[in-house]
Amino acid sequence: MDTRPITLDMQNQIERIRLENGGIASPFSFASLYIWRDIVGDRIHLEEELFSLRYDAAASEDPKKDYDAGESEDPKKDYEAEDNGDLTLSTDKNHGATDLGESNENAWIFPCGSDEAKRRFITECLSKNHALFYYVREEDKTFLEENFLGRFQITPQDDFDEYIYSLKEQTEIKGDKFHRIRNRINKLSKEHDLRTEILNDDNLSDAISVIENWARDKEIVGNLGTRGDEVDEDALKMHKELKITGVIIYDGTKPISVAAGFYMSEDIYDVFLCKGAERIPGLFYHTRRELLKTLNESCMRVDLEDDMGLEGLRTMKEELHPIDKIKMWKAISV
């Protein structure tokens, strides 16, 4: 299968294919593919009506979200998910191309494209040994079952499920179900001199400083190390090219947190980054909310991506009351 390095000049073609064929999930978005190319994989198979990223063996877990922070009822555990993010990169779950043994030449993110192009691509993958697909959504699972019955063992990837939220609910935080979050944000606002700035070239260095201070504040372990922070920095530096928007939260004149994301379509926005330079209860809820308040009126839903199987992160994302999940599976040829 021919592949080539993913480059910026592919953005329009990949996004056209994705939107025409319902690729509304973060793993298929060009911004996500591009910013994680040095970790998840930088080789892409690109046709006129289909694309698929070759999944790198180094990504034996879900390396992308090593930064997200949860907050729990116990203040001592408020940052448990953040502090242990890199610890999730173990090999016991075998989420990555290590399922193929030493070779990862036939491991892919599930192809996005027309039905005819997907049938042709998957058929070619099956002509080789051990075809393996990640980020198989419900509709992709149905496609495999209808077109390649008995050819794949399909198993859930619960840790990769993406949490979907109502933008209206997340910005208004009204009602009893949001009272804890409301209280944390109110307490935070009373105790700190907070202000919000939209990410731009003038304050980009402040956003980068938040990421650098976050990295220094945590013990870097695991096979990713500081590479996730480097990815975040690179993404912010290319915010214009990748159509990334963001906010920086200041306490007085000091930048203390940053959040950023991108539109997957007119009505759904993906938040891929939320980091703080200081450990302050309620800060991450406030930062995300400030970002969401900047979104277009046409946007209705928010994707906060997966929980990596971290209990603290799962608790936080459930506490935000998702309205849906994008279920993910893994498909291995048999």
* Local confidence pLDDT in tens for the 334 residues of the chain: 899 999 999 999 999 999 999 999 999 999 999 999 988 889 999 999 999 999 985 554 444 444 344 343 343 344 333 333 222 222 223 334 444 443 468 999 999 999 999 999 999 999 988 899 999 999 999 999 999 999 999 999 999 999 999 999 999 999 999 999 999 999 999 999 999 999 999 999 999 999 999 877 664 433 334 456 789 999 999 999 999 999 999 999 999 999 999 999 999 999 999 999 988 999 999 999 999 999 999 999 999 999 988 888 899 899 999 999 999 999 999 9
Q: Which CATH superfamily is domain 75-90+162-327 in?
A: Gcn5-related N-acetyltransferase (GNAT) (3.40.630.30)
Pairing relationship of beta strands 268-276 and 301-303 according to DSSP bridges? parallel
Residue 308: predicted pLDDT? 86
The pTM assigned to this predicted structure is 0.86
Tens of pLDDT, residue by residue over 102-113, are 346 899 999 999
Residues of the chain with CATH 3.40.630.30: 4-61+91-160, 75-90+162-327
Kind plus residue range of the DSSP H or E element containing 330:
strand 329-333
Cite the beta strand spans of 13-160 per DSSP E: 43-46, 50-53, 107-109, 112-113, 132-136, 152-156
Radius of gyration of the chain (CA): 20
Residue 36: predicted pLDDT? 92
Q: Which CATH superfamily is domain 4-61+91-160 in?
A: Gcn5-related N-acetyltransferase (GNAT) (3.40.630.30)
Tens of pLDDT, residue by residue over 48-70, are 999 999 998 555 444 444 434 43
Give strand pairing partners of 53.
44
**Cα 8 to chain center, whole Å?**
19
Give CA–CA dist 155/320, Å, rounded. 27
